[in-house]
């Protein structure tokens, strides 16, 4: 069937397009305007904005940590039924079903779950398979696991580390590799409670720097499109911008992605010894062309922090609100779940909010700064429309700031920043750039050959309203949202990479699991048939 989306303002930065015109779709793909044939179906997009489906590179939507948060907070979970609409978190899509529907309603069609423990991969993929409509992907977490630290301790070759990384990606069906407080969680098991980039994991004698650099080289050598995704050390601490600067300097011209940099943008200025150092970080990012970041924007309200950074979550447990938490000092990274309430009148929370916006606004290249709240750590993904609006309007930011404690804003530069994002910059940050960063060349744009993921919005001056509720959304050419309501609960797929490896690693890993765990390595494989539908996975090529 040939479908025409007619007469909308098409904003497609990957193809240099911002003009009124048509987008054509056939068999789930975008096609060029046909010379003669008439459309079998036409959707009138006059007065509307037409973009590719949006892509979220970092949102905790599935797996052991997310599910533990559900168990910890049943009172906030819609599945507990009868949850009044006004209760905290009532706007957070906690069920798999809600996650897919809420993302689709906002015009998002691909979302990456960024913290999958390889040993819990099957659980994560079962949950992802239950999320309707959107395509998904995961990042596998390495860097505190005994096998990798053992390889580094034994000073094994780069080739051995590459084979292990490739094996992990294949077994766990991930799209890339993440490292979370590299070495910090392993050191935590030996009662270490503070861990920086050049600190050493006692039993293994390797530093965070060595772990990060080894994984960065391996990911690059395997030609995995997404660079190593780094959650730095010292999350949340005053003065931690220096840790982030050290990590940025360590990139050394090889690709490196720094996650939720807002949580590392704190200085020690001012009376309270807590200030925004986002300008210094943005300057470093502007200069380091191989480095990409996402922000992890904070918004106000109740949320829950979910992290594989067990060391930092343990230290933050007393800030839990409500006063309950889960710390699992378990396999490899372990994890920590700490509920938290960001308040608009709290000095520290306002500095965090402002620092995130400073990072967005002071990073010049909108293709190297990515849009995240680190859902649900900084805020729920359902706050994205409000953040788009804040980025696009200096006046709106001024209105928000007028209600906030001036002492907090004084230790930031946000009141001085006039920049406003354009729709093209929003489309770059949420469509064109993330597709490139993840190696998903079939999406993030509206050129011929792309999959037909298309989001169409009313061109409303209230940008939050516009982005909250798309007029029409197509996934692979199928209409899934109309007037902000889901019309079709189709299933998406999970995207993976499968880089080449020397198969000797398979024998080595089998022996390791038998020796260390008394288990077959089969236990961590994710069989396709377990997901209960045909072709649940799609393999993304590595650039070899």
- Binding-site ranges for Zn ion (CB under 5 A): 374
Least Å distance between CB 372 and Zn ion? Answer: 8
CB under 8 Å to 9, separation ≥6 — which residues?
Answer: 18, 19, 20, 48, 49, 50, 459
Least Å distance between CB 444 and Zn ion? Answer: 21
Least Å distance between CB 377 and Zn ion? Answer: 6
Least Å distance between CB 296 and Zn ion? Answer: 7
Residue of 256, 258, 226 lying closest to 243 (CA atoms): 258
Looking at the Cβ atoms of 56 and 374, the one nearer to Zn ion is: 374
Determine the Cα–Cα distance for residues 454 and 457; give it in Å rounded to an integer: 10
Looking at the Cβ atoms of 58 and 119, the one nearer to Zn ion is: 58
Q: Is the distance from CB of 475 to CB of 443 less than 8 angstroms? A: no
- Biggest distance spanned by C-alpha atoms of the chain: 72
Looking at the Cβ atoms of 374 and 386, the one nearer to Zn ion is: 374
Least Å distance between CB 60 and Zn ion? Answer: 6
Cα–Cα–Cα angle for 268, 417, 436, rounded to 5 degrees:
90
Pairing mode, strands 41-44 and 48-52:
unpaired
Cis peptide before 376 (omega within 30 of 0): yes
Looking at the Cβ atoms of 147 and 384, the one nearer to Zn ion is: 384
Residue number of the CB atom closest to Zn ion = 374
Q: Is the distance from CB of 432 to CB of 14 less than 8 angstroms? A: yes
Looking at the Cβ atoms of 115 and 165, the one nearer to Zn ion is: 115
How many other C-beta atoms lie within 10 A of the C-beta of residue 278?
31
Determine the Cα–Cα distance for residues 256 and 215; give it in Å rounded to an integer: 10
Least Å distance between CB 26 and Zn ion? Answer: 38
Looking at the Cβ atoms of 208 and 377, the one nearer to Zn ion is: 377
Looking at the Cβ atoms of 63 and 385, the one nearer to Zn ion is: 63
Least Å distance between CB 273 and Zn ion? Answer: 26
Phi and psi at residue 319, in whole multiples of 5°?
-90, 5
Determine the Cα–Cα distance for residues 512 and 524; give it in Å rounded to an integer: 13
Looking at the Cβ atoms of 235 and 471, the one nearer to Zn ion is: 235
Show contacts of 469-473: CB within 8 Å, 24+ apart.
469/105, 469/106, 470/105, 470/106, 470/107, 471/45, 471/48, 472/5, 472/43, 472/45, 473/53, 473/104, 473/105, 473/107, 473/109
Looking at the Cβ atoms of 163 and 374, the one nearer to Zn ion is: 374
Looking at the Cβ atoms of 242 and 374, the one nearer to Zn ion is: 374
Least Å distance between CB 345 and Zn ion? Answer: 26
Least Å distance between CB 178 and Zn ion? Answer: 8
Pairing mode, strands 54-56 and 48-52:
unpaired
Determine the Cα–Cα distance for residues 511 and 492; give it in Å rounded to an integer: 36
Least Å distance between CB 307 and Zn ion? Answer: 7
Report the number of secondary-structure helices (H) and strands (E) in the chain: 18, 26
- DSSP code, position 428: I
């Amino acid at each position: 069937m040939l479908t025409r989306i007619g007469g909308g303002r098409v904003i497609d930065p990957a193809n240099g397009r911002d003009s009124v015109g048509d987008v054509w779709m056939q068999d789930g793909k975008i096609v060029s305007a046909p010379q003669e044939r008439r459309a079998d179906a036409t959707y009138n997009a006059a007065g509307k904005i037409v973009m590719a489906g949006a892509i979220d590179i970092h949102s905790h939507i599935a797996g052991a940590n997310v599910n533990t948060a559900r168990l910890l907070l049943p009172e906030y979970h819609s599945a507990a039924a009868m949850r009044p609409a006004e209760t905290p978190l009532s706007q957070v899509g906690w069920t798999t079903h809600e996650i897919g529907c809420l993302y689709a309603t906002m015009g998002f069609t691909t979302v990456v779950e960024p913290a999958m423990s390889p040993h819990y991969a099957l659980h994560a993929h079962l949950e992802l398979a239950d999320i309707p409509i959107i395509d998904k992907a995961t990042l596998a977490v390495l860097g505190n696991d005994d096998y990798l630290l053992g390889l580094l301790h034994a000073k094994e070759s780069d080739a051995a580390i590459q084979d292990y990384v490739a094996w992990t990606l294949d077994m766990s069906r991930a799209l890339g590799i993440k490292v979370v407080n590299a070495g910090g969680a392993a050191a935590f098991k030996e009662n270490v409670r503070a861990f920086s980039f050049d600190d050493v994991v006692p039993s293994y004698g390797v530093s965070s720097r060595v772990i990060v650099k080894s994984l960065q080289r391996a990911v690059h050598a395997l030609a995995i499109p997404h660079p190593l995704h780094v959650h730095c050390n010292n999350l949340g601490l005053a003065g931690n911008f220096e840790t982030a600067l050290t990590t940025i300097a360590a990139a050394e011209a090889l690709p490196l992605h720094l996650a939720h940099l807002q949580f590392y943008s704190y200085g020690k200025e001012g009376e309270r010894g807590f200030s925004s150092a986002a300008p210094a970080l943005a300057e470093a990012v502007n200069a380091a062309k191989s480095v990409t970041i996402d922000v992890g924007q904070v918004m106000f309200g109740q949320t829950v922090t979910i992290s594989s950074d067990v060391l930092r979550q343990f230290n933050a447990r007393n800030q839990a609100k409500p006063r309950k938490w889960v710390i699992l000092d378990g396999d490899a990274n372990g994890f920590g779940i700490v509920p938290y309430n960001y308040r608009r009148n709290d000095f520290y929370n306002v500095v965090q909010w402002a620092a995130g916006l400073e990072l967005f606004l002071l990073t010049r290249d909108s293709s190297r700064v990515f849009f995240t709240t680190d859902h649900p750590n900084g805020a729920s993904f359902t706050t994205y429309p409000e953040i788009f609006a804040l980025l696009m309007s200096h006046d709106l930011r001024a209105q928000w700031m007028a209600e906030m404690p001036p002492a907090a804003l004084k230790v930031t530069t946000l009141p001085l920043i006039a920049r406003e994002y354009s729709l093209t910059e929003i489309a770059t940050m949420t469509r064109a750039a993330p597709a490139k960063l993840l190696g998903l060349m079939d999406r993030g744009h509206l050129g011929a050959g792309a999959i037909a993921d298309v989001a169409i919005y009313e061109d409303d001056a209230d940008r939050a309203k516009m982005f909250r509720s798309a007029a029409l959304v197509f996934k692979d050419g199928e209409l899934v949202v109309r007037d902000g309501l889901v019309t079709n609960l189709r299933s998406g797929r999970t995207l993976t990479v499968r880089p080449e490896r020397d198969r000797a690693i398979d024998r080595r890993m089998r022996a390791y699991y038998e020796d260390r765990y008394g288990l077959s390595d089969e236990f961590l494989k994710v069989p396709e048939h377990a997901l209960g539908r045909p072709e649940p996975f799609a393999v993304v090529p590595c650039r070899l």
